[in-house]
Chain A
Amino acid sequence: GESVGLHLPTLSVQEGDNSIINCAYSNSASDYFIWYKQESGKGPQFIIDIRSNMDKRQGQRVTVLLNKTVKHLSLQIAATQPGDSAVYFCAERSQGAGGTSYGKLTFGQGTILTVHP
């Protein structure tokens, strides 16, 4: 069945360090992946996405890497700041039959990132 999981439930880093958050997925039919940041009491906030025909995508201070061979996704945050402290989720979308999207995202449990000043 479909599932998305995270290797590390918590991650503590010092301000200025680089952070890496990992995610494993099991559905080889997944065609699209998103990383979300969620702060307490708020909805998930889009960070960066990547399609399955790519293996790397960069944004501002963030990079997502996709390894389809081992079904692994990672989020790298450069020069982590206290404002980056939050729960981070990866989510996958599986391609439907005939090239149509299922529509829904499947989320993992999340990693709590704590950045110490």
Chain B
Amino acid sequence: DTGVSQDPRHKITKRGQNVTFRCDPISEHNRLYWYRQTLGQGPEFLTYFQNEAQLEKSRLLSDRFSAERPKGSFSTLEIQRTEQGDSAMYLCASSFDTVLGGGYTFGSGTRLTVV
């Protein structure tokens, strides 16, 4: 297993366009998380899944954002009608669902630039 994979690494889009990002988690992990990170800030939680169920969504996740994990494996994050304020690094992470912890493994992220 090569860890958490995200695609694409970079995306430049015009304002108003739709974009979709993909995340492939570590195969043994049943939890998958999406975060957004802007320059100089720590990652901000957007949403997470346990298997195919979306268990929590942040207030940051406006109606233009939608995430899916249809088969409990890979996930997609779609942003509709992109705005310049959506420019950020979108990070995906995965973990086991144990209260014992065990770390959350992050991917390298997708950097979105809205022009």
> Which A residue's beta carbon lies closest to that of B50?
A103
A46-B104 contact, Cβ under 8 Å, with A95-B99, A104-B45 = yes
A107-B103 contact, Cβ under 8 Å, with A43-B108, A44-B91 = no
Contact assessment for A43 and B107 in the assembled complex, using a CB-CB cutoff below 8 Å: yes
Interface centre among B43, B44, B106 (most CB of A within 10 A): B43
Interface centre among A34, A49, A101 (most CB of B within 10 A): A101
Q: How many residues of B are in contact with the other chain, CB < 8 A?
A: 30
Contact assessment for B41 and A105 in the assembled complex, using a CB-CB cutoff below 8 Å: no
Q: Residues of B contacting A91 with CB < 8 Å?
A: 42
Contact assessment for A107 and B42 in the assembled complex, using a CB-CB cutoff below 8 Å: yes
Q: Residues of B contacting A4 with CB < 8 Å?
A: 42
The distance in angstroms between the C-alpha atoms of A100 and B106, with both chains bound, is 22
Contact assessment for B33 and A104 in the assembled complex, using a CB-CB cutoff below 8 Å: yes
Q: Residues of B contacting A107 with CB < 8 Å?
A: 42-44
Q: Residues of B contacting A31 with CB < 8 Å?
A: 99
Tell me whether chain A's interface is mostly helix, strand or loop, or mixed: strand
Tell me whether chain B's interface is mostly helix, strand or loop, or mixed: loop
The distance in angstroms between the C-alpha atoms of A89 and B77, with both chains bound, is 24
> Which B residue's beta carbon lies closest to that of A52?
B101
Contact assessment for B56 and A104 in the assembled complex, using a CB-CB cutoff below 8 Å: yes
Contact assessment for B41 and A103 in the assembled complex, using a CB-CB cutoff below 8 Å: no
> Which A residue's beta carbon lies closest to that of B106?
A43
Contact assessment for B42 and A101 in the assembled complex, using a CB-CB cutoff below 8 Å: no
Asked whether B31 is an interface residue with its Cβ less than 8 Å from the other chain, the reply is yes
The distance in angstroms between the C-alpha atoms of A93 and B97, with both chains bound, is 13
Beyond A42-B109, A101-B97, A110-B41, 4 additional contacts (C-beta under 8 Å) are: A41-B108, A44-B91, A49-B102, A104-B56
